[in-house]
Structure 1
Amino acid sequence: MEACDETIKELSSIYDEESMDTFVSLYFDGKDNKFIYRREEAVMAILKGEELENFLKTMEEIKRFLGKKFAGNVAIFASHKHGYLKVVDIPVKTKNALIVDSSPYIRPLAELTDTWESFTLVLLNTNHARIFSVSCSRIAEKKRLSAYIMNKHKKGGWSQARFQRLRKGSIHAFFVEVMEELEKYASENIIIAGPGQAKHEFKSILPKRLQEKVVDIIDVDIEDEHGLFKESMAVMAEKEMEEKRDTMQYLKKEILRDGLGVCGVDEVVEASRNGQIELLLIEKGYKLRGWICENCQAVGKGTAKDCPYCHGKTSEVDVIEEIIEFAERTDAKVEFISSDEIKNLGHVVALLRYK
C-alpha cells in the first residue's frame, strides 16, 4: 500500500476536464453486496449518454477486481474514460459509499489518514530487536536483529568484573547496530518498547535528532506484539488529540490578532484556491451544499445556475470536499476535529502561509 498522504495527493489532482461525472469512488466493507446493486440502480436511473456508458464499463472493472480474492474494507477509485483504477486497502471497518462525480471522492480517505499518524516502533531487549513501520494503522516489519550476549559468568575463568564489562560492551555494540538500522527507517515519531531497562539504555545512546522524535517508551514483554501494537496506537491517538488542541488554541490567537489564521467557509475557500493554506482544520462529519464553476473553478455555498464571476456553467458539490482537494493539491496539511470550538468558528479554520 502506498503512503496515505501520497495517495490522497495523487487523487486530489485528478478530475474530468469536461466536468463530466466519470469517476466512481467506492468505499466497501466487502460484506453488503446488495449495497452496490442498490447504488448502481440509483445511478443508472440518473446518468445518460456517455456518462452512463462510462459508469457501466467502470463498474465492470471494479467488479472484476472484487471478484478476485478480496478480504474487504477497501477504497476503489476508477474511471473507464480515463483508464484509471486505484485500489487502497483500508485497515479499519469502512462505511459503504459509492459516489459518482467529476473527480475522486477523497474525504473518507483523508479522515482515515488524519486518524492514523505514521510512526516507527522499536521493540527490543538486550539481544533481540525488531523495527516496525506503522502507516495508516498498517504494520510492516522493516528489520529484525539479534546478537549473542553471554548471560552467565562461568567459574574459573574471567573475573566477575571483567565479565560484566565485556557483557556491557556487547550490549552497547548491539544497541549501536540497532540505532544504525533505525536511522534508515525512522519517521517523525518513534516509540521504543520492551522489558526491563534495555529500552531506556537504548534511548540514551541515540543521537539528539532521534531522541527528540521519541514519543513514548512502553514497558511490554518482548513476545507481546498484540499488546504492544494496541498500546502504541493509543499513544499516537492521544498525541494527535493533544496536538490538535494546541493547534486550535494557536489558530484562535492568530484570528484574534488578525494574523495568519482565518475561519469560516468563505475565507477558507478563497485561501485554498489561492494556495495560501499551510494547515486546514475541518469539523469532522461536516458537509455543505454548494457549487463549482466548470470554467473558472470558483466555489460557493448554496446554489447557482451560472457562475457569478465568469457566467460559466456550474455543478453541485460538497464545498468542504472542494476545499480539501484544493488544499491537498498545494501540499497543505489537512486535519479533522470534533469540538464546539471549530463549530463556533464556522466549521473550518486554516493557518495561512502568507497574507
Structure 2
Amino acid sequence: MTQLDGTLSELAKLRSGSEPIVSLYLDTRWSDEHQRERVRLFVQEKIRKTLGHYADGTPGKEGLERTLRKIQDFVSGLTGQVYEKEKSGLALFACESSGLWRTLFFARPFRPELCTDGFPHLTQLARLADDFEPAIVVAPSQAGADIFHVSLGDLALESHLRGFVPRQEEDQFNSGSGRPGQHYYERQSKDERHQEAFVQKNRKAAVQEVQAVFDHNPGCHLVLVGPSETVAAFERELPERLREQVIARIPRPRQWDNGDGVRADGVVAGAAEAVADHEKQKEQQVIDAVVGQSLRGGLAVMGPDDVVEALNQGRVHKLVLEEDFTLTGWRCDNCDAIGANAETQEVCPYCRGDLKVLQHLGEAMVTRALAEGAEVEIVAHANKLHSYRSVGAFLRQTAQTGLRGASQPWPSAPGASQS
C-alpha cells in the first residue's frame, strides 16, 4: 500500500470520448540550460508529431490542440524554473473535454514519454510505486534512535529521539584496600547496570515511536542502520509484526555525518538501495510463483490471451508484466473490453461492437488491472516470464462462476449485453 494507490485507481478509471487523454512523463533532473532545452524540444517535437496523426476535422482535434498548447506552456514554465525546482520527475495527465489536468512531481525521474490514448498511460507511475515502496529507516543508539520515513524516493518524515544516558565514572584502582580491586569492580558493575537501565528505557521509547510511524503508514518496510550489536538489540524489542517488515540491516553510511543536506540524501539512498535489493528478490519469487501456479492449474494464467480474458472478467488479483512488453491489441468502443489479437479479430467477441487498434496493449492491461483494484507488478526482463510472451496474472478465481475449471459458454465483459 503506497500513497499512490488511490491516485492510480482514480486515474485508471478515466476514459475519454473523441478527444484523447494526454500522458506526459519527464526527467526533470537538470543542472544547466542545455538539459532544460532538450526537455523543451522533446515536448515540442512530440506535440508536433502527435497533431500530425490527426487530420483536419477529426473529432476531438481542436480540444486536443488546446490541451497540448496548455502542456507546452506548462513545460516552458517548468524548464524556466518557475516552479518545482527541486523535483526530479513529472507525470502529467490532461484532457480538456474531460476537465482533466493532473500534475504529479516526484523525487525520482521518469523515462521521457508523451502519448495520447483513450485512457491514461500508468505503467511508469505503477513502476515507481512498486520499485520505491515506502520504508522506515531506523538508526538506533543508546540514547534512542534517528527515525526516517522514505516514500517514493523522497524523505517524508524525520524524527530524532534522544533520552538521558549517564556517563560511567572513571574510578581508579585502589591499591590500599585490604581486598585489592574489590571496590573498583563493584562500582563498575553497578554503573553498567545503571547505564543499561537508561539505555533499555530509551530503546523502548524508540520502539514505541517506530510503531507509531508504522501504524500511521501501514505496510512500510523497515531498514535498520548501525552496528550489528546495537541493531540486534533494538530488533529484539520490536513486536513480531514489525520484525516481519525488516528487509535490511546495514552499517551506518559515512555520509550521514556530513551535514543535514547530505544526511538526508544518505538516508534516501540507503533506503532506496535496500528496497531495490528486496524488490529484485521479490520479482523473481513472483515470476516463479505465477508460472508455477499456472502450470499446476492453480489460480494463475500466462500469456496475453488468457490474461486479457481474465482482466475483462474482473478475475485478476495481481498482474505481472515485463517492463519491455510491446504487443499491440484491440479495444471495444461499446463494452470497453480489450484483446490481444487485433489482426484476426473483426468485431468484439463479447458484444459484437466495433474495435479500435491498441498500440500499447501493456498500458491497457495495467490500466484495466488498476481500475479493478488489482495489484500491478512491473518486472525486469526475465527469461521464464518472457517465454510466455512477457505477461502473467494471479487470479481471484479460476472462472467467473468461481468454480475451478468451470467457464461460461459465452464470454462476457464489463458493459457487454448478456441477453
- Any conservation in 1 of the 2:168–2:192 contact (CA below 8 Å)? no
- TM-score with structure 2 length normalisation? 0.77
How far apart are 1:64 and its partner, in Å?
Answer: 4.8
**In structure 2, the residue corresponding to 1:39 is in which secondary structure?**
helix
Verify the 8 A CA contact 1:220 1:228 in the aligned structure 2: no
Deviation at 1:128, TM superposition (A): 4.6
Conserved 8 A contact 2:150-2:271: no
Unaligned runs of 5+ in 1: none
Q: Does 1:189 align with 2:203?
A: no
Which residue pairs with 1:75 in the alignment?
91
Instruction: Tell me how far 1:310 sits from its aligned partner.
Output: 2.8
Q: 1:218 aligns with which of 232, 243, 250?
A: 250
- Find the partner of 1:36 among 43, 50, 63: 43
TM-score, normalising length: structure 1: 0.90
Which runs of no fewer than 5 residues in structure 2 stay unpaired? 29-35, 173-183, 399-419
- 2:257 maps to amino acid: E
Q: Distance in 1 between matches of 2:228 and 2:331?
A: 59
- Please, which moves more after superposition, 332-341 or 53-62? 53-62
In the alignment, the residues of structure 2 paired with residue 229 and residue 195 of structure 1 have an alpha-carbon distance, to the nearest angstrom, of: 19
**Alpha-carbon distance between aligned partners in 2 of 1:309 and 1:278, rounded to the nearest angstrom:** 22
Counterpart of 1:315 in structure 2 is: 356
May I ask how many residue pairs the two structures share in their alignment? 352
Question: Which structure has the greater CA radius of gyration?
Answer: 2
Aligned to 1:107: 123
Residue 53 in structure 1 maps to residue 62 in structure 2: yes
- Amino acid aligned to 2:385: I
Matching residue of 2:237:
205
User: What letter is aligned with 1:92?
Assistant: R
Aligned residue type for 1:4: L
Q: Aligned equivalents of 1:171 and 1:344: distance in 2?
A: 55
Task: Report if aligned partners of 2:144, 2:206 keep a CA contact under 8 Å in 1.
Answer: no
Superposition CA RMSD, Å: 2.5
Matches within 5 A, 1:221-260: 223=257, 225=263, 226-260=265-299
On the 8 A contact 1:77/1:85 being kept in 2, the answer is yes
Q: For residues 54-90 of structure 1, give each alpha carbon's deviation from its aligned partner in whole angstroms, at most 9, with x where no partner exists.
A: 2233234434543132435211111222222222223
Name the residue aligned to 2:3. Answer: 3
> Once structures 1 and 2 are overlaid, which stretch shifts more, 97-106 or 218-227?
218-227
1:343 has 2:386 as partner: yes
CA distance in 2, matches of 1:45, 1:63: 16
* Alpha-carbon distance, 1:348 to partner: 0.8
Residues in 1 aligned to 2:292 and 2:352: alpha-carbon distance in whole angstroms: 39
**Aligned positions of 1:162-181 closer than 5 A:** 162-181=190-209
Residue pair 2:108, 2:152 contacting (<8 A) in 1 also: no
Map Cα deviations across residues 220-259 of structure 1 (whole Å, 9 max, x no partner): 1562745554343222222212222222222232122211
Identity %: 25
Q: Return the offset for 1:343.
A: 1.0
Matched residue SS, 1:295: coil
